[in-house]
Structure 1
Amino acid sequence: MLFQTHAFKPAHAVTLLRSGTEYFSRLQQLIDNAQHSIHLQVYIFDLDTTGNIILAKLKQAVQRGIMVYLVVDGYASPHFTLAVLASIRKSGISVKQFAPLHYKSLKIGRRLHHKIVLIDDRFALIGGINIADKYSGYNNTQTWLDVAVEIQGEACLDVMAICELIWPKRIRKKWKKNVTFPISQKENYQVCVTQNDWWRRKIEISKTYRDMIRSSQSELIILASYFLPGFRKRLLLKKASERGVNIAIILGGMSDIPLIKPAMHYLYSVLCVNNISIYEWTQSVLHGKMAISDKQLTTIGSYNLNALSDYGSLELNVNIESAEFAQTASSFLQKIIAEGCVKINPQLYQHKPYSVLHAYRFVCFQILRLSLFILFALMRRDRMSRKHI
């Protein structure tokens, strides 16, 4: 049985969106059609062509009388200087930096990693897509492969509640919440919004992934970036394969973080020996995060299978219980495999335990694990110190 803190709720529409023109055209359309409120919370907001287009759309919305609330991460969105923030506020947009860095602070661990667009409390875009040219493909930039999902329905109220946590009470008082949803003749979708925020004792997405792997009976497909699952998830994958589950994992053939590739390759030998098929996307950087279990349950969002998403960042995923949507998502992943993936040959990763290459990959893996452990320790220390204030 799938672990859930929040209940599944009916959805009138659920749509899978790919990074590039598909996602950003829909985003601009939603902003243009907003009636009373826009919430945008994102990890990376670059003030390049894409960022300036979206920012201009938000300013136009304010001029139409729409309330606009923008939150960017204080570490990953360095373009938002004090001068830029002042200029945006002057335009009428309520803007906030999440956990801005300070020279006296070591609180780099807890970051706003989720990506939320909420329009009129009725339409929500949730996934891994940030606001930057590398996600839109503008200016002939190579588009990173990423995914998001648009949901319409009661689950948007759960998204609204999550948006509230970022803002102080004096701001939240202005928000209207008398939202009703039309009765749809077709509600084949059941959706559930899940969070990871160790600071608030929420590890719902981590538990969802573990339960999906544990309960899969026939097929499990995972699209992942920065793939460094802990021992428990690796053991669950091994056991799932042993009971006959067909497991395919799509990973990136290139990465924006140098140590990630050799660290992931260290895990390839563990996965391949357990008959897990690995595919590498070679056309661009892979940044998407999605999993499909038994052609019935799909999860999409910002969560990466690594310790930072487990314990150091605010993450948001949407779980969709629908055979129809799972088929759509599965067809999309099969298209990705055919379009630009190569299948990993297991024999290439059957290294002797003490080979130089194996040792190098093991060291990279341990360096990343140690780095994540230190970040988590700093965050935990800060949490404990606040507890005693």
Structure 2
Amino acid sequence: MNSAVEHIATDQPPDEAKARDLDYGWQSGNQIELLENGEAYFPRVFDAMRAAQREILLETFILFEDKVGNELQGILIEAAQRGVKVVVSLDGFGCGELSAAFLKTLADAGVMVQMFDPASKTLGIRTNWFRRLHRKIVVVDAEVAFIGGINFSADHLGDFGPEAKQDYSVQVTGPAVADLHHFALAQSGRQVRTRRGWRRRQQRPSPWATDSGEGLVRLIYRDNLQHRDDIEEAYIYALSKAKKRAVIANAYFFPGYRLLREIRNAARRGVQVQLIMQGQPDVLLAKLAARMLYDYLLKDGVVIHEYCQRPLHGKVALVDDDWSTVGSSNLDPLSLALNLEANVLIRDRAFNQQLYDSLATLSKNHCQVIPAKDKPRLWLWRLTVGFLVFHVMRHFPALTGWLPAHKPRLKPFESQAHD
């Protein structure tokens, strides 16, 4: 029995982690830096971990035993051996191929490894597809945090080849790191001290800060308890406020009707709305689903680009000159209705411009524009089918007992069973 490697629950929080149900407010005075792809992300995260003195908290959907995963393993082991508390939470589906030897090496060095809702293969196939831990968060010494869509795998590096992913994360320093630290502790099942500023609020803070100052950051997340729609509502609210421009770059785009309607309505009132979608998909079904919605959006002036250089994996958006969001959440039924996700909302003009410039370069140099048709055909039929498909996917897991709509308990992991 190895108590350093555990299974963690999906939806039911332990009593000491009731902070999961808190609403995190806007924090001012932060420094936010956009990190594009693994070339920018991995060196920054690894340097922060190497400099850690007290604690490393890490959550990721995917960790592979490749050059990135092996480097991460070595850094975490070295940190644990010099007395840093290291807690690593991995998804049981995305990290289901990790070897027992890889995990045991971490645990033997003193790293607390947790596996979120793992399941054995059935006839050689993994069936625990739904309600995944899809967040990507790193917090070091409660002083610097990273959040976005980048996993710990070599396919986020350009030298991986044509299948290398285009993706984004952010580095945050400042008061908002305390919220990310508090959240990461609570989600990992660690003991959390409730302090002033993390009280249960009667009303959730607005996705649009009342102050348009610089360096404003707010953590939002999606769970299967009290925060099922927070990320979706943030997109809807921001788009309803849009006056000038809105850019959404999202890998898997198949939102519900309310969000789809808000995108269309923004374009109708003269907002320059641009979507950047997958043109070279890593999941063909995702591209086909998104294209079912194109006619509905194009006829009202939404500009759609498909990124064709390599698979788009980003989950970012911006509205007007100072609102942005970066995180793990796609705009599809898995992220909006099933998975555990986390984004940050940002009110900062410099960051908004940095993200806009990056996406503008992407759309100008590496995308193809989807032409608007004079008389879109079958758009109503496609929208109807899309609406039905979305809601079937949204509610199907809750209606069928054999899909993982369950609440597994926290229990020790027996490493011998995986040798």
**TM-score when normalising by structure 2:** 0.80
Q: Is the 8 A contact 1:5 1:204 kept in 2?
A: no
Sort the Cα spacing of 1:17 and 1:349 in 2 relative to 1 into closer, same or farther, 3 A. Answer: farther
Q: Are 2:101 and 1:59 aligned?
A: no
Deviates more, 1:130-139 or 1:143-152: 130-139
Q: Which residue of 1 aligns with 2:5?
A: none
Sort the Cα spacing of 1:38 and 1:145 in 2 relative to 1 into closer, same or farther, 3 A. Answer: same
Deviates more, 1:62-71 or 1:291-300: 62-71
Name structure 1 gaps, 5 residues minimum: 178-186
SS in 2 for 1:199: coil
Q: Is the 8 A contact 2:337 2:394 kept in 1?
A: no
Q: Which residue of 1 aligns with 2:183?
A: 162
1:100 to 96, 101, 118: 118
Shift of 1:215: 1.2
Q: Which residue of 1 aligns with 2:259?
A: 233
Alignment-mate amino acid for residue 306 of structure 1? D
Q: Which residue of 1 aligns with 2:140?
A: 119
Shift of 1:23: 1.0
Q: Are 2:280 and 1:257 aligned?
A: no
SS in 2 for 1:259: helix
CA distance in 2, matches of 1:139, 1:106: 28
> What aligned pairs does 1:192-207 form with structure 2 within 5 A after superposition?
192-207=218-233
Shift of 1:84: 3.5
Q: Are 2:41 and 1:37 aligned?
A: no
CA distance in 1, matches of 2:135, 2:43: 20
CA distance in 2, matches of 1:167, 1:243: 44
Instruction: Quote the sequence identity (%).
Output: 27
CA distance in 2, matches of 1:108, 1:51: 22
Q: Is the 8 A contact 1:266 1:362 kept in 2?
A: no
Sort the Cα spacing of 1:139 and 1:273 in 2 relative to 1 into closer, same or farther, 3 A. Answer: closer
Deviates more, 1:256-265 or 1:34-43: 256-265
> Which structure's relative contact order is higher, taking Cα pairs within 8 Å and 6+ residues apart?
2
CA distance in 1, matches of 2:228, 2:179: 15
Deviation per CA, 1:160-207: give whole Å up to 9, x if none: 1221233335xx37x9x9xxxxxxxxx830111111112344432111
CA distance in 2, matches of 1:45, 1:11: 33
Q: Which residue of 2 aligns with 1:304?
A: 330
Q: Are 2:340 and 1:314 aligned?
A: yes
1:375 to 380, 383, 397: 397
Q: Which residue of 1 aligns with 2:171?
A: 150
Alignment-mate amino acid for residue 134 of structure 1? D
Q: Are 2:103 and 1:77 aligned?
A: no
Q: Is the 8 A contact 1:11 1:152 kept in 2?
A: no
Shift of 1:156: 1.1
Shift of 1:106: 7.3
CA distance in 2, matches of 1:203, 1:51: 32
Sort the Cα spacing of 1:349 and 1:311 in 2 relative to 1 into closer, same or farther, 3 A. Answer: farther
SS in 2 for 1:191: strand
SS in 2 for 1:165: helix
Deviates more, 1:343-352 or 1:51-60: 343-352
Alignment-mate amino acid for residue 75 of structure 2? K
Q: Are 2:39 and 1:21 aligned?
A: yes
Shift of 1:363: 6.7
CA distance in 1, matches of 2:277, 2:40: 22
Q: Which residue of 2 aligns with 1:184?
A: none
CA distance in 1, matches of 2:46, 2:175: 23
Indicate the structure with greater helix content.
1
Alignment-mate amino acid for residue 276 of structure 1? V
Deviates more, 1:374-383 or 1:236-245: 374-383
SS in 1 for 2:53: coil
Sort the Cα spacing of 1:365 and 1:83 in 2 relative to 1 into closer, same or farther, 3 A. Answer: farther
Q: Is the 8 A contact 1:111 1:312 kept in 2?
A: yes
TM-align CA RMSD:
3.0
Deviation per CA, 1:69-97: give whole Å up to 9, x if none: 11110011112344433332112111000
Shift of 1:140: 4.9
SS in 2 for 1:164: helix
Q: Which residue of 1 aligns with 2:304?
A: 278
**TM-score when normalising by structure 1:** 0.85
SS in 1 for 2:284: coil
CA distance in 1, matches of 2:349, 2:379: 43
Sort the Cα spacing of 1:353 and 1:218 in 2 relative to 1 into closer, same or farther, 3 A. Answer: closer
